[in-house]
Amino acid sequence: QEIRKVVQALEQTAREILTLVQGVHQGPGFQHIPKKCQKAREHFSTVRTQMESLKTKFPADQYYRFHEHWRFVLQRLVFLAAFVVYLESETLVTREAVAEILGIEADRERGFHLDIEDYLSGVLTLASELARLAVNSVTAGDYSRPLRISAFINELDSGFRLLNLKNDSLRKRYDGLKYDVKKIEEVVYDLSIRGLNKEATVGAGGEK
């Protein structure tokens, strides 16, 4: 019961962060990315406090016995942390960095930790969000962003291909990545057909 209460509080904080960062998809949202990321970072301090509370609700060696209670919200929080880091630096957040943002351990031996499969699930959700961002970037007149998103997602896809995914739900989520790659490729192709990718390269400081 006590675990459920803390998990509900975490879910509420996750919803608040999601509402905040999804504002980047709206027209003027692109101009406010740094401000939105900063506000999201402030919400993550609440997440860390809630995680501290969650750790006290069960014996440290029984993590996997209760894992199902917080698995979904933890994956959602991984995605949100990964999205904020991507918006800030256009890089993939490491598992260690996510664990630090959430105030938990990366190493299983050290107690309440970020399970590798929860991390990977969160990263796959990021891919879907970036596919959506690529489409909305064009609507907002930002033609260089889809090219950068495409390069990032292709690299992510190459990384996942190296993994031997045995977990069924993770495997299904990975299958969805192919559609995200295809969706982004279509956006880039459309820009190319309309000659907007050249404009994007020049705008990004290239010489093509």
Q: Per the annotation, where are the binding residues for Mg(2+)?
A: 129
| Residues flagged as binding site | 129
Closest CA to 14 of 73, 95, 94, 82: 73
HEC assignment per residue over the chain: CHHHHHHHHHHHHHHHHHHHHHHHHCHHHHHHHHHHHHHHHHHHHHHHHHHHHHHCCCCHHHHHHHHHHHHHHHHHHHHHHHHHHHHHHCCCCCHHHHHHHHCCECCHHHCCECCHHHHHHHHHHHHHHHHHHHHHHHHCCCCCHHHHHHHHHHHHHHHHHCCCCCCHHHHHHHHHHHHHHHHHHHHHHHHHHCCHHHHHHHHCCCCC
State the Cα–Cα distance between residues 79 and 26, nearest whole angstrom: 19
Instruction: Tell me which amino acid residue 36 is.
Output: K
